[in-house]
Structure 1
Amino acid sequence: MRRGQLPLSVLEVAIGVVVILSVTLGFALGPPAADARGPQLEAYATDVATVLANEQPRHGGSTRLREVVASEAAFDRERGALERRVERILPGNVLFRIETPHGSVGLAQPRQTVTGTAVVPTGAGQVSVEVWYA
Protein backbone atom coordinates (compact mmCIF):
# COMPACT_ATOMS: atom_id res chain seq x y z
CA MET A 1 0.00 0.00 0.00
CA ARG A 2 1.62 3.21 -1.15
CA ARG A 3 0.67 6.55 0.29
CA GLY A 4 0.84 9.62 -1.83
CA GLN A 5 3.22 12.13 -0.33
CA LEU A 6 3.55 15.77 -1.14
CA PRO A 7 7.09 16.72 -1.94
CA LEU A 8 8.63 18.70 0.88
CA SER A 9 9.55 21.61 -1.37
CA VAL A 10 5.87 22.11 -2.41
CA LEU A 11 4.85 22.21 1.26
CA GLU A 12 7.58 24.76 2.03
CA VAL A 13 6.46 26.96 -0.85
CA ALA A 14 2.82 26.85 0.33
CA ILE A 15 3.79 27.84 3.87
CA GLY A 16 6.05 30.61 2.53
CA VAL A 17 3.23 32.03 0.40
CA VAL A 18 0.86 32.06 3.40
CA VAL A 19 3.44 33.84 5.57
CA ILE A 20 4.24 36.42 2.89
CA LEU A 21 0.54 37.12 2.27
CA SER A 22 -0.10 37.46 6.02
CA VAL A 23 2.72 39.97 6.44
CA THR A 24 1.67 41.90 3.34
CA LEU A 25 -1.95 42.12 4.49
CA GLY A 26 -0.78 43.17 7.94
CA PHE A 27 1.08 46.13 6.48
CA ALA A 28 -1.62 46.95 3.93
CA LEU A 29 -4.51 46.95 6.37
CA GLY A 30 -2.57 47.99 9.46
CA PRO A 31 -3.93 48.14 12.97
CA PRO A 32 -7.06 50.19 13.56
CA ALA A 33 -6.39 53.79 14.47
CA ALA A 34 -6.71 54.60 18.14
CA ASP A 35 -9.52 56.99 19.04
CA ALA A 36 -7.61 59.98 20.37
CA ARG A 37 -10.73 62.12 20.70
CA GLY A 38 -11.74 60.78 24.12
CA PRO A 39 -8.55 61.75 25.98
CA GLN A 40 -8.49 65.19 24.32
CA LEU A 41 -12.10 65.80 25.34
CA GLU A 42 -11.30 64.74 28.91
CA ALA A 43 -8.48 67.30 28.89
CA TYR A 44 -10.83 70.03 27.64
CA ALA A 45 -13.41 69.23 30.33
CA THR A 46 -10.74 69.22 33.03
CA ASP A 47 -9.34 72.53 31.76
CA VAL A 48 -12.77 74.19 31.92
CA ALA A 49 -13.43 72.82 35.40
CA THR A 50 -9.99 73.91 36.65
CA VAL A 51 -10.31 77.44 35.25
CA LEU A 52 -13.78 77.94 36.72
CA ALA A 53 -12.83 76.39 40.06
CA ASN A 54 -9.85 78.75 40.43
CA GLU A 55 -11.17 81.92 38.81
CA GLN A 56 -12.10 84.98 40.84
CA PRO A 57 -15.85 85.49 41.30
CA ARG A 58 -17.60 88.36 39.56
CA HIS A 59 -19.78 89.40 42.51
CA GLY A 60 -19.19 87.29 45.59
CA GLY A 61 -17.94 83.95 46.85
CA SER A 62 -14.51 82.44 46.89
CA THR A 63 -14.42 81.19 43.27
CA ARG A 64 -16.45 81.52 40.11
CA LEU A 65 -18.06 78.11 40.62
CA ARG A 66 -18.94 78.77 44.26
CA GLU A 67 -20.59 82.00 43.18
CA VAL A 68 -22.66 80.21 40.53
CA VAL A 69 -23.88 77.46 42.87
CA ALA A 70 -24.49 79.70 45.88
CA SER A 71 -28.21 80.06 45.12
CA GLU A 72 -30.73 79.85 42.33
CA ALA A 73 -30.77 83.64 42.07
CA ALA A 74 -26.97 83.72 41.73
CA PHE A 75 -27.13 81.04 39.05
CA ASP A 76 -29.78 82.95 37.11
CA ARG A 77 -27.73 86.14 37.35
CA GLU A 78 -24.46 84.47 36.27
CA ARG A 79 -25.84 82.04 33.65
CA GLY A 80 -25.04 84.19 30.60
CA ALA A 81 -21.59 85.20 31.83
CA LEU A 82 -20.75 81.58 32.65
CA GLU A 83 -21.77 80.45 29.18
CA ARG A 84 -19.70 83.18 27.50
CA ARG A 85 -16.69 82.37 29.69
CA VAL A 86 -16.77 78.67 28.81
CA GLU A 87 -17.15 79.50 25.10
CA ARG A 88 -13.95 81.56 25.36
CA ILE A 89 -12.07 78.73 27.10
CA LEU A 90 -12.96 75.99 24.60
CA PRO A 91 -12.00 75.77 20.93
CA GLY A 92 -14.73 76.70 18.45
CA ASN A 93 -15.42 73.09 17.41
CA VAL A 94 -16.16 71.90 20.97
CA LEU A 95 -19.65 72.13 22.49
CA PHE A 96 -20.43 71.87 26.19
CA ARG A 97 -22.97 71.49 28.96
CA ILE A 98 -22.44 72.48 32.56
CA GLU A 99 -24.79 71.00 35.17
CA THR A 100 -25.15 72.68 38.56
CA PRO A 101 -27.56 72.05 41.43
CA HIS A 102 -29.58 75.10 40.26
CA GLY A 103 -29.65 74.51 36.51
CA SER A 104 -27.57 73.94 33.43
CA VAL A 105 -25.77 75.99 30.80
CA GLY A 106 -24.97 74.95 27.26
CA LEU A 107 -26.43 72.50 24.81
CA ALA A 108 -28.03 69.12 25.36
CA GLN A 109 -25.57 66.37 24.58
CA PRO A 110 -26.44 64.31 21.49
CA ARG A 111 -26.82 60.56 21.98
CA GLN A 112 -23.97 58.22 21.11
CA THR A 113 -21.35 60.95 21.12
CA VAL A 114 -17.87 60.64 22.58
CA THR A 115 -17.63 63.09 25.47
CA GLY A 116 -15.18 64.32 28.04
CA THR A 117 -16.40 64.87 31.59
CA ALA A 118 -15.08 66.56 34.71
CA VAL A 119 -16.82 66.90 38.07
CA VAL A 120 -16.00 69.60 40.61
CA PRO A 121 -17.34 69.37 44.17
CA THR A 122 -18.31 72.69 45.72
CA GLY A 123 -19.75 73.49 49.10
CA ALA A 124 -23.24 73.78 47.60
CA GLY A 125 -23.13 70.67 45.38
CA GLN A 126 -21.35 69.18 42.42
CA VAL A 127 -20.77 70.90 39.10
CA SER A 128 -20.22 68.67 36.09
CA VAL A 129 -18.66 69.79 32.84
CA GLU A 130 -19.31 67.74 29.71
CA VAL A 131 -17.76 68.52 26.32
CA TRP A 132 -17.96 66.99 22.84
CA TYR A 133 -16.99 67.81 19.28
CA ALA A 134 -19.49 69.67 17.11
Structure 2
Amino acid sequence: MPERADDERGQLSLSLVEAAVGLVFVLTVAATFGLALPEPGTTEAQLDTYATDVATIVAHERPADGDGPRMADIDDRETFERERETLERRIDELLPDNLLYRMETPWGTLGVEPPASVRTGGATVTIPAGTVTVEVWYG
Protein backbone atom coordinates (compact mmCIF):
# COMPACT_ATOMS: atom_id res chain seq x y z
CA MET A 1 0.00 0.00 0.00
CA PRO A 2 1.54 3.30 -1.04
CA GLU A 3 1.93 6.07 1.56
CA ARG A 4 -0.25 9.17 1.20
CA ALA A 5 1.33 12.54 1.18
CA ASP A 6 0.09 15.07 3.76
CA ASP A 7 -1.53 17.24 1.11
CA GLU A 8 -3.72 14.40 -0.19
CA ARG A 9 -6.00 14.22 2.87
CA GLY A 10 -9.70 13.79 2.29
CA GLN A 11 -11.81 16.94 2.59
CA LEU A 12 -15.45 17.39 3.40
CA SER A 13 -17.42 18.82 0.52
CA LEU A 14 -18.23 22.52 0.98
CA SER A 15 -21.79 22.01 -0.26
CA LEU A 16 -22.29 19.33 2.42
CA VAL A 17 -21.15 21.81 5.12
CA GLU A 18 -23.50 24.47 3.73
CA ALA A 19 -26.41 22.02 3.75
CA ALA A 20 -25.72 21.06 7.38
CA VAL A 21 -25.56 24.71 8.47
CA GLY A 22 -28.78 25.45 6.58
CA LEU A 23 -30.56 22.49 8.18
CA VAL A 24 -29.51 23.60 11.67
CA PHE A 25 -30.74 27.13 10.91
CA VAL A 26 -34.13 25.93 9.64
CA LEU A 27 -34.62 23.64 12.64
CA THR A 28 -33.67 26.47 15.02
CA VAL A 29 -36.20 28.83 13.44
CA ALA A 30 -38.92 26.16 13.50
CA ALA A 31 -38.21 25.35 17.16
CA THR A 32 -38.31 29.04 18.07
CA PHE A 33 -41.77 29.44 16.55
CA GLY A 34 -42.97 26.26 18.18
CA LEU A 35 -41.73 27.25 21.62
CA ALA A 36 -42.96 30.84 21.38
CA LEU A 37 -46.62 29.94 21.11
CA PRO A 38 -48.52 31.06 24.21
CA GLU A 39 -50.37 28.57 26.35
CA PRO A 40 -54.17 28.58 26.02
CA GLY A 41 -55.60 31.15 28.40
CA THR A 42 -52.46 33.29 28.39
CA THR A 43 -54.20 36.06 26.45
CA GLU A 44 -56.91 36.46 29.06
CA ALA A 45 -54.39 36.43 31.89
CA GLN A 46 -52.30 39.11 30.16
CA LEU A 47 -55.38 41.25 29.55
CA ASP A 48 -56.42 40.87 33.20
CA THR A 49 -52.95 42.02 34.23
CA TYR A 50 -53.15 45.12 32.02
CA ALA A 51 -56.62 45.92 33.38
CA THR A 52 -55.48 45.46 37.00
CA ASP A 53 -52.46 47.70 36.44
CA VAL A 54 -54.55 50.47 34.86
CA ALA A 55 -57.30 50.31 37.48
CA THR A 56 -54.86 50.33 40.39
CA ILE A 57 -52.64 53.11 39.04
CA VAL A 58 -55.48 55.39 37.95
CA ALA A 59 -57.38 54.88 41.21
CA HIS A 60 -54.41 55.37 43.53
CA GLU A 61 -51.84 57.47 41.67
CA ARG A 62 -51.35 60.99 42.90
CA PRO A 63 -52.12 63.75 40.38
CA ALA A 64 -49.32 65.92 39.02
CA ASP A 65 -50.03 68.55 41.70
CA GLY A 66 -49.55 65.83 44.39
CA ASP A 67 -52.85 66.55 46.13
CA GLY A 68 -54.30 63.09 46.98
CA PRO A 69 -55.26 60.14 44.77
CA ARG A 70 -56.77 61.22 41.46
CA MET A 71 -59.99 59.22 41.75
CA ALA A 72 -60.40 60.18 45.39
CA ASP A 73 -60.35 63.84 44.31
CA ILE A 74 -63.31 63.25 42.02
CA ASP A 75 -66.52 63.47 44.00
CA ASP A 76 -69.13 64.38 41.37
CA ARG A 77 -69.88 64.19 37.66
CA GLU A 78 -68.74 67.77 37.04
CA THR A 79 -65.26 67.08 38.42
CA PHE A 80 -65.13 63.82 36.47
CA GLU A 81 -65.92 65.65 33.22
CA ARG A 82 -63.25 68.25 33.99
CA GLU A 83 -60.65 65.47 34.61
CA ARG A 84 -61.78 63.26 31.69
CA GLU A 85 -59.01 64.24 29.27
CA THR A 86 -56.31 63.83 31.91
CA LEU A 87 -57.61 60.36 32.83
CA GLU A 88 -57.85 59.28 29.18
CA ARG A 89 -54.34 60.53 28.47
CA ARG A 90 -52.97 58.65 31.51
CA ILE A 91 -54.70 55.41 30.51
CA ASP A 92 -53.34 55.77 26.97
CA GLU A 93 -49.84 56.14 28.45
CA LEU A 94 -50.24 52.99 30.55
CA LEU A 95 -51.57 50.67 27.84
CA PRO A 96 -49.77 49.41 24.73
CA ASP A 97 -50.96 50.95 21.47
CA ASN A 98 -52.72 47.75 20.37
CA LEU A 99 -55.13 47.70 23.35
CA LEU A 100 -58.48 49.42 23.69
CA TYR A 101 -60.25 50.03 26.99
CA ARG A 102 -63.42 50.95 28.80
CA MET A 103 -63.38 52.34 32.33
CA GLU A 104 -66.59 52.63 34.34
CA THR A 105 -66.66 54.92 37.37
CA PRO A 106 -69.47 56.11 39.66
CA TRP A 107 -69.59 59.34 37.61
CA GLY A 108 -69.35 58.07 34.03
CA THR A 109 -67.37 55.98 31.56
CA LEU A 110 -64.23 56.44 29.51
CA GLY A 111 -63.19 54.59 26.37
CA VAL A 112 -65.37 52.54 24.05
CA GLU A 113 -67.68 49.56 24.40
CA PRO A 114 -65.89 46.29 23.57
CA PRO A 115 -67.22 44.32 20.61
CA ALA A 116 -69.12 41.17 21.58
CA SER A 117 -66.70 38.94 19.65
CA VAL A 118 -63.45 39.88 21.45
CA ARG A 119 -61.82 38.43 24.53
CA THR A 120 -61.48 40.97 27.29
CA GLY A 121 -59.63 41.23 30.54
CA GLY A 122 -60.99 43.14 33.47
CA ALA A 123 -60.35 44.43 36.95
CA THR A 124 -62.26 46.30 39.62
CA VAL A 125 -60.86 48.47 42.39
CA THR A 126 -62.70 50.14 45.24
CA ILE A 127 -62.33 53.85 45.90
CA PRO A 128 -64.08 56.00 48.54
CA ALA A 129 -66.95 56.92 46.18
CA GLY A 130 -67.58 53.40 44.81
CA THR A 131 -65.87 51.11 42.33
CA VAL A 132 -63.82 51.61 39.21
CA THR A 133 -63.98 48.83 36.61
CA VAL A 134 -61.54 48.60 33.71
CA GLU A 135 -61.95 46.32 30.71
CA VAL A 136 -59.22 45.95 28.05
CA TRP A 137 -58.96 44.05 24.76
CA TYR A 138 -56.82 43.82 21.66
CA GLY A 139 -58.01 46.28 19.05
TM-score if structure 2 supplies the norm length?
0.67
Q: What is the CA–CA distance in structure 1 between the aligned matches of 2:51 and 2:122, rounded to whole Å?
A: 5
Q: What is the CA–CA distance in structure 2 between the aligned matches of 1:66 and 1:81, rounded to whole Å?
A: 15
Q: How many aligned positions are there?
A: 101
Match of 1:84 among 83, 86, 89: 89
1:83-127 CA-to-partner distances (Å, cap 9, x unmatched) read 111001000000000001111000111113211111111111111
Match of 2:58 among 20, 29, 52: 52
1:42 is displaced (CA, Å) by: 0.3
Structure 1 residue runs of 5 or longer lacking an equivalent are: 1-32
Aligned residue for 1:50, secondary structure, equals: helix
Q: What is the CA–CA distance in structure 1 between the aligned matches of 2:42 and 2:64, rounded to whole Å?
A: 36
Q: Which residue of 1 aligns with 2:69?
A: 63
Cα distance change, pair 49–104 in 1 and its aligned pair in 2 (3 A): same
Aligned residue for 1:113, secondary structure, equals: coil
Name the % identity. Answer: 45
Contact map agreement 1:101 1:125 (CA 8 A) in 2: yes
Match of 1:103 among 69, 89, 108: 108
> What RMSD, in angstroms, separates the aligned Cα atoms of the two structures?
1.7
1:76 is displaced (CA, Å) by: 0.6
Structure 2 residue runs of 5 or longer lacking an equivalent are: 1-38
1:59 is displaced (CA, Å) by: 6.4
* Letter in structure 2 aligned against 1:77: R
Stretch moving more, 53-62 or 77-86 = 53-62
Match of 2:134 among 120, 129, 134: 129
Q: What is the CA–CA distance in structure 1 between the aligned matches of 2:108 and 2:66, rounded to whole Å?
A: 19
Q: What is the CA–CA distance in structure 2 between the aligned matches of 1:105 and 1:46, rounded to whole Å?
A: 16
